[in-house]
Amino acid sequence: MFFKRLLLLLILGVIQNLPANNPPNVIVIMVDDMGYSDIGCYGGEIKTPNLDKLAAYGLRIRQFYSTGKCHSSRVSLLSGLHSYQAGELGKNGTIKMHNGNIARGVSLAQVLRKAGYFTAVSGKWHISPEPLNMGFNRFFGFLPGYVKDYFACKKLELNGTPYVHKGTENRYITDQITDYGIKFFEEAQAREKPCFLYLAYNAPHYPLQAPQEDINKYKGKYLKGYLDTHKQRIEKMKRLKLIEDNWSPASAEEVKLRDWNAFSQEERNYQDLLMATYAAMIDRIDQNIGRLVKTLESSGALDNTLILFFSDNGATEATMVHEREQHERKLSMSTNDSFTVYGDWAYVSNAPFRLFKTHMHEGGVISPLIAHWPKGISVPGGSIDHKNMFQLIDIMPTLVDICGANYPDTYDGRKIEPMKGVSMLPSFKGQQADRKEGMYFMFGLNRAYRLGDWKLVSKGTSRWELYNLADDPTEKNDLATKNPEKVELLKKMWWKIAKEDERLPPQISKPNSDKSAVYKRFLMRQGNNRVPGLNEADLKKRYGKGVKGIKK
């Protein structure tokens, strides 16, 4: 009798823990081009009380990684595969050069829809096929990589048809993305189905545009300059226990940070305005996340909803040439007139890490990650996981794990590449994740491979650099010449995935040289046609591919 009762209790306990019995809602929030230290709970001075509250009652991951670029991060997030691994095969057996497609995988929406979920996406798409062909029941947003107009975007779609603005509605795109995210969630509830909602905000991707009332909150707060703001963030990150007291921040000299003291007051005011507008864009995201959380609270769904928040890559240091900047500073950033970037401030956004978007050094790929799920995260609220490291491909196995879903071997007659990531669920319980392999990174010719604390990385096809991230998390002490065997080991691991899984095309399979990397800041060319008399051929002669020697 005792053993029968024990068996019955065990069975009941297992049934009660099955995700399919009471599957959580899942809301994945990805922002665009936001740096590691921008939000309050990761060290920033930008007001993000709603995200800070999610972190205070949830979990922060100290070492979470993107792919370093917009479209490849979206492919990896939605497919659970490396970007090229998911892509379409060419005739020679390598993957076609692509701008983000999922031809050899399935999407999170397809997997979770099979498990009974209502699936919806609101925001930026930037990959192919289109959302309704990738398992999503609903789509609001835009297909291209960014919008030029935050206040009256003309590229919006709703469920596959062009979207026409209503006369009285708020047209700021961040607000609209949330409006439809909430509508889709409420539709899932009305259908009595668990919801998978993917909110892909365009902000704070350029162009810098924000409502004036939000810009006004920050005007004047950045007049002390880049280095002062950077220092304040480092100090706050130490107080938050995100970084150690002995960390050495990345070099400002390497990235040719301009001298604030050499600026005129007019120039300082303009730089302050650029950062104030960028901060306002993030502030507005936080306001909208607050609206979403209130919807979850009022419906009683918050406790059993997993919310994941992260960025698709690090901040971009894209810089306008002098002529373009002079043109743009005449235009308002609280309307749809301007097309600006914030240049040097990216060094602040990515504090304390090195380099920027598209680079595989930490500043390009590391992201904040907040996980909030009262019913499923058992570590104390406000915890920071310093020991685990995760990347975007780990979200697919995590959701398969907690949602009672199955990842298929085939889908619609196609053979599907196997998942490459690991579940993050152990981290939610304060445990070590089961990561047996290292972490692979690539975008273009930029490359990296991390195994434990060791990271091999290169800028383009320059020579490989080696860092021990336990001792040197900001990649300042290259140990490659002292550890040639470690370099060879990690290099072989990188090339194995590049050739066997990614099947990279010849254009991006060039071997590394022995030359040291030379940093050149990214020169912003998009939008130069807005400036009368700005000749692109002359700019190429003057500036080349980078902005070395750019006018201040």
CATH numbers and ranges of domains, the chain? 23-428 (3.40.720.10), 439-508 (3.30.1120.10)
pLDDT digits (tens, 9 = 90+) for 229-284: 999 999 999 999 999 999 999 999 999 999 999 999 999 999 999 999 999 999 99
pLDDT band at residue 18 under the 50/70/90 scheme? very low
- Per-residue confidence (pLDDT) for residue 13, from 0 to 100: 38
pLDDT(17) > 60: no
Interior CA angle at 204 toward 333 and 427, to 5°?
160
* Percentage of the residues of the chain whose pLDDT score is greater than 90: 80
Residue of 477, 461, 469, 448 whose CA lies nearest to 517: 461
d(CA 282, CA 24) in angstroms, rounded, equals 27
d(CA 85, CA 442) in angstroms, rounded, equals 12
Tokens of 395: 């979200």
- Per-residue confidence (pLDDT) for residue 165, from 0 to 100: 80
Lateral strand order in the sheet of 446-451 = 439-443, 446-451, 454-458, 465-468
- Per-residue confidence (pLDDT) for residue 544, from 0 to 100: 65
pLDDT(539) > 90: no
pLDDT band at residue 550 under the 50/70/90 scheme? very low
Residue of 143, 522, 517 whose CA lies nearest to 357: 522
Give the range among 285-289, 385-389, 412-416, 482-486 with minimum mean pLDDT.
Answer: 412-416
- Per-residue confidence (pLDDT) for residue 97, from 0 to 100: 78
pLDDT band at residue 123 under the 50/70/90 scheme? very high
pLDDT(4) > 60: no
- Per-residue confidence (pLDDT) for residue 10, from 0 to 100: 40
Span 530-534, mean pLDDT?
84
d(CA 539, CA 151) in angstroms, rounded, equals 30
Burial 380-405 (b: 16+ CB within 10 A, else e): eeebbbeebbbbbbbbbbbbbebbbb
Tokens 């975008």 identify what position?
443
Q: What is the mean pLDDT of the chain?
A: 92
- Per-residue confidence (pLDDT) for residue 409, from 0 to 100: 96
- Per-residue confidence (pLDDT) for residue 248, from 0 to 100: 96
Greater model confidence, 512 or 99 = 512
d(CA 240, CA 45) in angstroms, rounded, equals 13
pLDDT band at residue 3 under the 50/70/90 scheme? very low
Backbone φ, ψ for residue 58 (5° rounding)? -130, -140
On whether the pTM is more than 0.85, the answer is: yes
- Per-residue confidence (pLDDT) for residue 170, from 0 to 100: 67
Span 545-551, mean pLDDT?
44
Element (H, E) at 361: none
Give the range among 5-19, 68-82, 123-137, 330-344 with minimum mean pLDDT.
Answer: 5-19
- Per-residue confidence (pLDDT) for residue 1, from 0 to 100: 44
Contact 151, 335 (CB under 8 A): yes
Contacts of 442 (CB under 8 A, 6+ apart): 67, 82, 83, 84, 360, 448, 494, 498, 502, 504, 508
Q: Catalytic site residues?
A: 70, 126
Q: Could you tell me the maximum CA-CA distance found in the chain, to the nearest angstrom?
A: 91
pLDDT band at residue 211 under the 50/70/90 scheme? very high
* CA Rg value for the chain: 23
CB atoms within 10 A of CB 496: 13
Span 410-416, mean pLDDT?
94
d(CA 360, CA 550) in angstroms, rounded, equals 25
- Per-residue confidence (pLDDT) for residue 546, from 0 to 100: 53
d(CA 356, CA 367) in angstroms, rounded, equals 12
Rounded-to-5 percentages of helix, strand, coil across the chain: 35, 15, 50
- Per-residue confidence (pLDDT) for residue 7, from 0 to 100: 44
pLDDT digits (tens, 9 = 90+) for 453-478: 999 999 999 999 999 999 999 999 99
pLDDT band at residue 549 under the 50/70/90 scheme? very low
DSSP, collapsed to helix, strand or coil, labels residue 391 as: strand
Is 282 buried (19+), middle (13-18) or exposed (0-12) by CB count in 10 A? buried
Contact 279, 286 (CB under 8 A): no
Contact 396, 111 (CB under 8 A): yes
- Per-residue confidence (pLDDT) for residue 528, from 0 to 100: 86
* Sign of the dihedral through C-alpha 81, 82, 87, 92: negative
d(CA 50, CA 12) in angstroms, rounded, equals 37
Tokens of 381: 């609220």
pLDDT digits (tens, 9 = 90+) for 178-207: 999 999 999 999 999 999 999 999 999 999
* Percentage of the residues of the chain whose pLDDT score is greater than 70: 94
Span 303-331, mean pLDDT?
93
The type of residue at 347 is Y
